[in-house]
Structure formats: structure tokens, C-alpha cells
């Protein structure tokens, strides 16, 4: 019985050992057969992955190529440290956070593509995409910057403009001084009234055979009672001719409407002023033969009395502010005095605008002794009157204050209509009253202690404009200092503009 039990136990252990051996053999066979197939499958998958890079690799490959063609921002660098699989790839693969599986270059050899470990790339791409995502700019409209405090220059301009309001010429005063005035709103035509100049008292012999002078008749040549001309017939009135008075020798000459002289005659005149019944140019007495000879008689372009309507005038339409001093130089043409040079300065004396202008009519006399204009100046001039008008209206507005000495002559040749004007002839009136005027040179010597217009080369428009500005500033400063010393109750009379007509009466 004992032997039987021992045999049974032995059989059990033997069966268990055989079963274990069989299981090991089967497992080995299974691993050998199915393991090789799985390895082949994984190798095939790896080869396919190597041949076709992932979308991340494609995006990394194409992105630099796209950015190279245009101007874009640089890619944000990786913040964390990254370990690379090969030290040779340290400088070229800074953007890869995981282990590098493959590196290759593009067809042009400029860009490099790489694939990383899938597990690591998945986690790293999330952060990289977040970092590479362009930041959305704040599209909210920024609040306007705070207003800057007014500069000392702007404060000075405002104070100067306010101080000059009492010196602005009224429309009635402008008409009396001969300023051009428009005949209707938004019109390019203007009219002007020219006061006849005071006649010199000369010793003349009387002609007993001369016809009786009747004011307003055909015998009146515009010179008053000095001399007479025979009455013009109907045929003369119908002829295409115009009668002018020479502004240098006071002789009458005739021209056609096209500017041609009907009779060539030389002009003998004195260019100097009369001082104590003698001319300052040659010292000869009044009434003597002229010391200077000109080829042509010339006229100013206007006649005593009503002139116009004259076309071609312009006017500012928008307010621009500012205070400017203006002066022009003119030359004699067949159409009278025309613009040859213009200069504009600001309140601080800074030059704002200056140019030479080519007259539209043939030039008869450059008037170099007074204008400073020479033939070479106008030969190089390219500006026309229309160009100068456009330039001036670029900074002269309806409220801009223009300063000048006998400014009506400047506005007349500029063909500019303007209402806000200050004239130093009215600001510094003559002791004898209107229509007498003090010259700019005399005002500069007396009030500024400055000698101007002394050069033999002629006047300078820039120098005259700065002198006008200094005279106006001097008057404003004197009035301010005087106003500060007076009681408040006595300040009102300073605000009234000076009117030579009223004061002379």
C-alpha cells in the first residue's frame, strides 16, 4: 500500500514537470514566431514614418521658408533647457524639446527638417504652439494724449494779435488810403480810389491863349490846373489809345491798349526828393531840367480817382491766424507797376517767404535804384503772380494780420484782397496830417536808430519787412508800458485807432 502511494506521488510530480516543460516550449515557440512578425511590422511602420514626416515637422519646415520671403517677427526662443540626442545637432535643433529621430535638409539646402519622439513631441508641441501663437494686439483705441500747455510763442502771438486789434484799419479808412476793395462777395474783381497827389507849387508863365479850364471837362488831363491839352475830337476818342501821366517827369504820353507807345520820347527827370526847394539827387532847384534820362515814360498803373473794376484778385477763405509783415518791390512795365519781388517775415523776424516774380508784361524800367531788382534777378525767376498768390494763401487766412508800410501798394500789385491790415503810415502819422506820409527810412532812423535804404544797390524787401515788424512791436510795447502806468478808468482812449482825417480836422 505504501509503495502504491509513493508511485502515485511520483507520477503527479512527473506530470507537473512535463506540463511545465511543455508550457515553456510553447511559449518559446510563440515568441519566436509571433515576435518576428511584430518586429517586421514595427520596422515597416518606422520606415514609413521616416519617409513621410509628421505634420509638426512639415510646419516647422515650411514656416521658416515662408518667413524668409516676408518681413515677420522672430520666433520666440524656448525657455526651458533641452537635451539633444547628438552634440552635433546642438546649434541647429534648439527648437526641438525631445529626442531627435531624423534630420534632413530641404531641396534648396537652406532649411532643415527633423522629427522628434512622438510622446515627447505631443506634450512639447502644446507648449510650443501656445508660445508661437501670435499675440493679439490690443485693438482698443488709446485715449487721446493730454493737451499740451500753450508755448510761449503761441501766447506771444495771441497777445500781439489782441494788441493790434485797435490798429486795424476800418473799411472806410482802407478806401480812403487807396486799398483794393472787392465790388461784390466771392468776386475776383476789385476797385480802388486813388487820391490825387499834392501838386508842387512851381513858378510858371501864363498862356493867355490857353482855353478856359473847366473841372470835369475834356481839357482835364488828370493833372489839375497845371497845363492844358486841346479838346479831343470824336475820332480821337474812338481811336485805340490810352493817355497816361508819367510819374517821373509829369508829362502826358499816349500808348495803345496793347502797351505800345504811339510816340517815342525820352524821359528827363529828377529821382531825388525835394528838400528846401532843391532836389536831393543833383542839388538843382525845383523846375530845372532833369538830371537823369530814361528811354521811356512810365506810369504807375493807376490814375487819380476811381480805378477798376480790375480782374485777377484773390482772397483767403479760411482762418489761419498769425501776424506777418509784408513788403514788395516793383518794376515798371507797359501795364504800369508790376510785382518783381516779395518778402514775408514772422513776428520774431524769421523769414517766412521770399521770391522773385516774373512780370507778365514787357519791362520798361527795372527801377534798380529803389527796387534793387536787376535784369539777372528776373531772368532766373520762375514764379508768376498766380504762383505767389497760391503760396501766400497757404499761410495767410481771413484772420491773419498783415503789416506793412503803404501796404495798399503791396496788396495792389499782389492782387490780394485782405481786411485785417495794419499800416505804419497810419500808426506813425505825418505831423502835417493826411495825405502827407512819413517814409519808412525816416521812421527807422527816428524810432529804431537804424539806417536802411542807404545802399546804392537799392532797397531790400526783407530789410523793409523786418523794419515794419520792429516798428509795430515798438509801438505795441510802448502802449503796454503806458497802459500799465495809467489808472483803469483812463485806459479806454488807448483802444481807439488813430484817424489822421479826424485829428487833422
Angle between helix 461-485 and helix 152-163 axes, rounded to 10 deg: 80
Range in 28-32, 54-58, 277-281 with the lowest mean pLDDT? 54-58
In our burial notation (b when 16+ CB lie closer than 10 A, e otherwise), range 136-171 reads eeeeeeeeeeeeeeeeeeeeebeebbebbeebbbee
For residue 469, name the pLDDT band (cuts at 50, 70, 90).
Answer: very high
Q: Which of 108-112, 121-125, 206-210 shows the highest mean pLDDT? A: 108-112
Arithmetic mean of pLDDT, 42-52 = 54
Residue 294: helix, strand or coil by DSSP?
A: strand
Summarised one tens digit per residue, pLDDT across range 273-287 is: 888 889 988 989 988
Which residue would you say has higher pLDDT here, 157 or 325? Answer: 325
Inform me whether the pLDDT recorded for 9 exceeds 90.
no
Dist. CA 475–CA 335, nearest whole Å: 37
**pLDDT value of residue 126:** 45
Question: Whole-prediction pTM value?
Answer: 0.62
Arithmetic mean of pLDDT, 457-476 = 90
Which residue would you say has higher pLDDT here, 23 or 150? Answer: 23
Summarised one tens digit per residue, pLDDT across range 242-251 is: 899 999 998 9
Summarised one tens digit per residue, pLDDT across range 159-215 is: 999 999 999 999 999 999 999 999 888 888 999 999 886 655 443 444 444 444 444
**pLDDT value of residue 287:** 86
Which of 217, 227, 219 lies closest to 249 in space, CA to CA? 227
For residue 308, name the pLDDT band (cuts at 50, 70, 90).
Answer: confident
Contacts with 159 (C-beta within 8 Å, 6 or more apart), sequence order:
none
Inform me whether the pLDDT recorded for 260 exceeds 60.
yes
The beta-strand segments (E) located in 280-420 are: 292-294, 305-310, 314-315, 323-333, 336-345, 351-356, 363-365, 401-404, 416-417
For residue 101, name the pLDDT band (cuts at 50, 70, 90).
Answer: low
**pLDDT value of residue 11:** 78
Angle between helix 385-392 and helix 407-414 axes, rounded to 10 deg: 120
Which residue would you say has higher pLDDT here, 405 or 3? Answer: 405
**pLDDT value of residue 423:** 97
**pLDDT value of residue 365:** 92
**pLDDT value of residue 140:** 55
**pLDDT value of residue 462:** 93
Range in 7-11, 38-42, 79-83, 202-206 with the lowest mean pLDDT? 202-206
For the chain, how long is the longest CA-to-CA vector?
198
Q: Which of 30-34, 149-153, 412-416 shows the highest mean pLDDT? A: 412-416
Q: Cell digits for 254?
A: 499816349
The beta-strand segments (E) located in 373-480 are: 401-404, 416-417, 421-423
Residue 282: helix, strand or coil by DSSP?
A: coil
Q: Count CB neighbours of 182 within 10 A.
A: 17
Inform me whether the pLDDT recorded for 121 exceeds 50.
no
For residue 382, name the pLDDT band (cuts at 50, 70, 90).
Answer: very high
> Which region holds residue 411: left if phi is over 0, alpha if psi is between -120 and 50, else beta?
alpha
Amino acid at each position: 500500500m505504501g509503495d502504491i502511494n509513493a508511485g502515485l506521488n511520483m507520477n503527479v510530480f512527473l506530470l507537473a514537470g512535463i506540463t511545465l516543460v511543455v508550457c515553456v516550449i510553447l511559449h518559446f515557440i510563440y515568441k519566436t514566431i509571433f515576435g518576428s512578425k511584430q518586429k517586421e511590422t514595427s520596422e515597416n511602420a518606422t520606415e514609413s514614418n521616416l519617409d513621410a514626416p509628421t505634420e509638426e515637422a512639415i510646419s516647422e519646415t515650411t514656416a521658416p521658408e515662408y518667413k524668409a520671403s516676408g518681413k515677420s517677427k522672430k520666433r520666440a526662443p524656448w525657455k526651458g533647457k533641452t537635451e539633444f540626442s547628438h552634440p552635433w545637432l546642438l546649434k541647429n535643433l534648439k527648437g526641438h524639446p525631445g529626442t531627435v529621430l531624423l534630420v534632413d535638409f530641404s531641396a534648396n539646402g537652406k532649411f532643415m527638417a527633423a522629427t522628434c519622439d512622438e510622446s515627447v513631441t505631443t506634450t512639447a508641441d502644446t507648449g510650443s504652439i501656445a508660445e508661437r501663437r501670435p499675440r493679439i494686439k490690443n485693438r482698443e483705441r488709446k485715449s487721446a494724449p493730454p493737451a499740451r500747455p500753450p508755448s510761449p510763442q503761441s501766447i506771444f502771438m495771441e497777445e500781439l494779435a489782441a494788441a493790434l486789434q485797435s490798429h486795424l484799419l476800418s473799411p472806410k479808412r482802407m478806401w480812403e488810403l487807396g486799398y483794393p476793395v472787392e465790388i461784390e462777395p466771392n468776386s475776383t474783381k476789385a476797385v480802388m480810389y486813388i487820391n490825387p497827389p499834392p501838386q508842387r507849387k512851381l513858378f510858371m508863365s501864363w498862356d493867355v491863349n490857353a482855353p478856359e479850364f473847366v473841372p470835369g471837362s475834356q481839357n482835364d488831363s488828370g493833372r489839375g490846373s497845371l497845363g492844358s491839352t486841346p479838346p479831343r475830337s470824336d475820332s480821337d476818342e474812338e481811336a485805340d489809345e490810352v493817355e497816361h501821366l508819367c510819374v517821373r517827369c509829369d508829362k502826358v504820353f499816349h500808348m495803345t491798349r496793347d502797351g505800345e507807345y504811339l510816340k517815342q520820347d525820352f524821359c528827363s527827370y529828377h529821382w531825388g526828393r525835394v528838400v528846401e526847394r532843391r532836389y536831393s539827387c543833383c542839388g538843382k532847384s525845383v523846375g530845372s531840367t532833369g538830371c537823369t534820362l530814361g528811354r521811356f515814360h512810365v506810369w504807375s498803373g493807376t490814375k487819380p480817382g476811381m480805378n477798376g473794376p480790375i480782374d485777377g484778385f484773390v482772397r483767403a477763405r479760411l482762418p489761419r491766424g498769425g501776424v506777418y509783415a509784408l513788403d514788395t518791390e516793383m518794376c515798371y512795365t507797359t501795364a504800369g507797376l508790376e510785382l518783381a519781388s516779395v518778402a514775408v517775415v514772422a513776428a520774431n523776424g524769421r523769414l517766412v517767404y521770399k521770391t522773385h516774380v516774373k512780370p507778365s508784361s514787357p519791362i520798361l524800367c527795372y527801377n534798380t535804384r529803389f527796387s534793387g531788382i536787376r535784369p539777372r534777378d528776373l531772368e532766373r525767376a520762375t514764379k508768376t503772380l498766380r504762383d505767389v498768390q497760391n503760396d501766400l494763401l497757404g499761410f495767410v487766412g481771413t484772420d491773419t494780420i498783415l503789416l506793412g508800410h503803404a501796404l495798399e501798394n503791396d496788396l495792389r500789385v499782389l492782387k490780394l484782397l485782405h481786411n485785417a491790415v495794419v499800416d505804419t503810415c497810419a500808426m506813425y502819422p505825418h505831423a502835417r496830417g493826411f495825405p502827407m506820409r512819413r517814409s519808412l527810412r525816416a521812421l527807422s532812423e527816428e524810432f529804431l536808430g537804424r539806417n536802411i535804404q542807404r545802399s546804392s544797390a537799392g532797397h531790400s524787401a526783407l530789410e523793409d519787412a523786418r523794419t515794419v515788424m520792429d516798428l509795430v512791436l515798438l509801438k505795441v510795447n510802448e502802449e503796454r508800458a503806458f497802459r500799465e502806468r495809467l489808472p483803469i478808468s483812463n485806459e479806454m482812449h488807448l483802444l481807439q485807432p488813430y484817424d489822421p482825417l479826424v485829428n487833422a480836422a
